[in-house]
Chains A and B, each alone.
Chain A
Amino acid sequence: MASTDRPARAAAFVVIDAEEARRERARRMERTGRWLLPLIIMAAAVYSWDRICVWNEIPQYILPRPGVVLATLIEDAGLLFSSLLVTLRITALSLALAVIGGVGLAVLFTQSRWIEMSLFPFAIVLQVTPIVAIFPLINIYVDDQTTKLLLCAWIVAFFPILSNTTLGLNSVDRNLIDYFKLNGATRWQTLWHLRLPAAMPYFLGGLKIAGGLALIGAVVAEFVAGAAGQSSGLASRIIEAGYRLNAPRLFAALILISLTGIVIFLALSWISHLVLHRWHESALKQEQ
């Protein structure tokens, strides 16, 4: 047993020079620092927030202490999480519709330059007009509450998917397009076997942006709709808490929205990693 252990142990103690040792130490510190530093800063910020409240005797309805916010988050969990589910439903649905609409339109654009030239300016107009300004119109023309919110979140989320996917579908290696032509590939085969997989990294990049935007779109839509007392999402909880000077609940809802945004981003990054990690430069670890 002892004799078989020896080579493994010898391999563990590879002799390296001082420069390599320094590099290895730096690498290890960077790995730890990547998660430790943000945690320390976050802890320091929360602690200062707490101290500022105590030292300046700030009343709870203006700035609640972090502990109170946490307690509210737990106490009001039932109310807040049911509202979160409403907001999440709108976010997920609008993101799904943005994927269908964005990718569908991008595919249409690559099939005909004329269609792209005709329609792309309209997509830009939709993108640059502030959603808060469009919402009153939607409010007039659409009756159903969910449809209103969905439409609003969709308008915000679909553009990054459309523009990134269009770019991806058009960024295919010209030689590969020639190769497909040489092999008598149909339009559909070229799209399915070449353009769509080649556009995947661009699409996933757009999806990561759209995920965050769908949440923002849903919350903004709820805000505008909620002002009329027609919504039950997280934004309406914030408005409600604002009216009642219930700052702890306002903070709790805000934190919940931020955490949701982070979770959405991490989930989409993970999907992107799963799809791309074997072949795309963006997902490869730098070789040592």
Chain B
Amino acid sequence: MPPQTHPFLILQSIGKTFASGVTALDRVNLTVNEGDFMSLLGPSGCGKSTALRIIASLSQPTSGVVDWRGAALKQNDIGFVFQEPTLLPWASVYDNVWLPLRLRGVSRRDAGPQIAEVLERVHLTGFETAVPRELSGGMKMRVSIARGLVTRPRILLMDEPFAALDEITRFKLNNDLLELWAERGFTVIFVTHSVFESVFLSNRVTVMAARPGRVFDEVAVDAPYPRNQSFRTSPEYAALCRKTSDVLVGAINATAQDLEAADGVH
């Protein structure tokens, strides 16, 4: 699905200072359009995850406004996928995917068709009764994604979901995620360390700098969808990766300068 230009979520001058005095985010401005696949890319400590938690209302900003553009978001509208699969280890695949529906009062039987559909979409049909420890890392992540999508959210927040996986599994999950996104048309904010992953997946990459975390620059990835294996090996992809990488290096250097300046002050 082609992303639209209709703004869906606007972060206005978001700041976050922890009680310890550490400033995680400083005047972050960000506009996410309906249907965007936006990556937040940056070095460790740049506040990517903090920004995601603020968007999910898991954390309150110290200053600034999270503006959903008048869309009255319901609980169902936000899906969240963590860096770890974060599943209930005692529950089966079926029950793990049922969890968000269960918390909304949907019975196990009534949730059946939705669960079956989403499990089929993430290629886990037949594994309903398995418990997480019987699954591989990639399969656990698929369960986590299925759980994130079973409520049909309008926006899916993903916090480095594939960072711990091997490259082959990551490529596979990247492809599957793009397919799901194209099919269902939700908006994604995807936090990652990886230039390659962000360019492959997103239509926009927002690069952040650290200490304090702020938006450094944005790269528009204007390659058309659907993207597949041939895109991965195309010169266009290589050029976009180089461009994004240059911006990221700029962000890292900016961080280093800030650190030196701070050292000078001390």
Contacts and interface: CB of A to CB of B under 8 A. Distances in A.
Interface of A: 173, 175-176, 178-185, 189, 193-194, 197, 200, 278-280, 284
B82 A179 contact: yes
Contacts of B100: 183
**Most chain B beta-carbon neighbours within 10 Å: one of A173, A181, A193, A279:** A279
Interface stretch (B83-91, B180-188, B253-261): B83-91
19 contacts: A173-B86, A175-B84, A175-B86, A176-B86, A179-B86, A181-B58, A182-B56, A183-B100, A183-B103, A184-B104, A189-B103, A193-B102, A193-B103, A197-B88, A197-B91, A200-B90, A278-B90, A278-B133, A279-B89
Given A176-B88, A197-B90, A183 B56 contact: no
A193 B90 contact: no
Interface in B176-200: none
A101 B188 CA distance: 47
A189 B99 CA distance: 11
Contacts of A181: 58
A279 B103 contact: no
B85 to A, nearest CB: 10
Given A184-B75, A189-B103, A179 B131 contact: no
Interface of B: 53, 56-58, 75, 78, 80, 82, 84, 86, 88-91, 99-100, 102-104, 131-133
Contacts, number: 50
A185 B57 CA distance: 14
Given A278-B131, A279-B131, A279-B133, A185 B82 contact: no
Task: Tell me the dominant secondary structure on chain A's binding face.
Answer: helix
A279 B132 contact: yes
Given A193-B102, A193-B103, A182 B78 contact: yes
Contact of B103 (A176, A185, A197, A200): A185
Contacts of A197: 88, 90-91
A69 B88 CA distance: 52
Nearest to B159: A175
Given A279-B132, A279-B133, A193 B99 contact: yes
B82 A175 contact: yes
4 A-B pairs with the lowest CB-CB distances in the bound complex, closest first: A175-B86, A184-B75, A183-B103, A279-B90
Task: Tell me the dominant secondary structure on chain B's binding face.
Answer: loop
A197 B86 CA distance: 15
Given A175-B84, A279-B132, A279-B133, A183 B104 contact: yes
Nearest to B133: A279
A181 B80 CA distance: 11
Contacts of B133: 278-279, 284
A144 B255 CA distance: 75
A127 to B, nearest CB: 30
A180 B80 CA distance: 11
B18 to A, nearest CB: 16
Contact of A184 (B84, B91, B99, B103): B103
B88 A194 contact: yes
Nearest to A185: B103
**Most chain B beta-carbon neighbours within 10 Å: one of A173, A183, A184, A200:** A183
Contacts of B86: 173, 175-176, 179
A200 B88 CA distance: 13
A280 B89 CA distance: 8
B80 A179 contact: yes
Contacts of A200: 90
B144 to A, nearest CB: 10
**Most chain A beta-carbon neighbours within 10 Å: one of B53, B78, B88, B131:** B88
Contacts of B131: 278-279
B163 to A, nearest CB: 14
A181 B89 CA distance: 18
A283 to B, nearest CB: 11
Given A185-B103, A197-B91, 4 more contacts: A176-B88, A178-B53, A183-B75, A193-B99
Contacts of B82: 175, 178-179
Nearest to A276: B90
A193 B90 CA distance: 10
Contacts of B89: 279-280
A179 B86 CA distance: 9
Nearest to A173: B86
Contacts of A189: 103
